[in-house]
Amino acid sequence: MTTALTDLPVLLKGIPSGAWVAISEEKNVVMAYGPDAQEVLREAKERGEAHPLILRVPDEAVAMFF
């Protein structure tokens, strides 16, 4: 099962706001998370995920205007 955008709220549950998260889309699991994106990517790759999906947990769920 590969990760879909609709999976993200479940995958990100319990992860602190503001954290960067690396996800294995193939395994549909969080591989690493933390405050530093580069460190999170490095950790995910060390755990065998060569091409993780990376994103940041929003500080809070709010309406957005760019």
Q: Do residues 35 and 19 make contact, with C-beta atoms less than 8 angstroms apart?
A: yes
User: From the CB of 38, what's the least distance to another protein, in Å?
Assistant: 6
Q: Which amino acid is at 43?
A: E
**61 touches another protein (CB under 8 A):** yes
- 54 by DSSP, 3-state: which? strand
**51 touches another protein (CB under 8 A):** yes
User: From the CB of 46, what's the least distance to another protein, in Å?
Assistant: 15
Query: Which positions touch another protein (CB under 8 A)?
Result: 3, 5-6, 8-9, 20, 25, 37-38, 41, 51-66
